[in-house]
């Protein structure tokens, strides 16, 4: 996978209460990924960008929320997230990878 596609697949980490609990309990990290990204692409992108061994990838399609402002109704766009399980002894540090 070329370097350009790596940056198109991984959009960034998904920080929430649930993702923080998952990261603390296990060796999992949650990423926002492109809508057209496959599990295989997510695995390759994480391994290339962060130089860690990936054990498992689970992908979830998230539906956008319906929102309203007065009489105007709208909808946020759909998005995709990936739960990446790291191999035993592997750790992911976002601050170190940015350098």
Res. 97 pLDDT band, cuts 50 70 90: low
**Residue 99's pLDDT is what?**
56
Mean pLDDT of 82-93: 89
> What secondary structure letter does DSSP report for 78?
P
Query: Burial, 38: exposed, middle or buried (Cβ in 10 Å; 0-12, 13-18, 19+)?
Result: middle
Res. 78 pLDDT band, cuts 50 70 90: very high
Model confidence pLDDT, tens digit, residues 66-77? 999 999 999 999
**Structural domains for the chain:** 3-89 (3.30.70.330)
**Which is nearest to 35 in space by CA: 16, 3, 60, 54?**
60
Whether residue 95 has pLDDT greater than 60: no
């Amino acid at each position: 996978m070329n370097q350009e596609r790596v940056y198109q697949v991984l959009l960034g980490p998904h920080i929430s209460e649930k993702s923080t609990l998952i990261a603390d309990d296990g060796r999992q990290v949650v990423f926002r990924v492109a809508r057209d990204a496959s599990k295989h692409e997510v695995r390759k992108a994480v391994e290339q960008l962060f130089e860690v061994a990936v054990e498992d990838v689970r992908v979830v399609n998230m539906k956008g929320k319906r929102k309203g402002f007065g009489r105007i109704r709208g909808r946020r766009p759909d998005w995709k997230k990936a739960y990446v399980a790291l191999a035993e002894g592997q750790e992911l540090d976002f601050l170190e990878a940015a350098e």
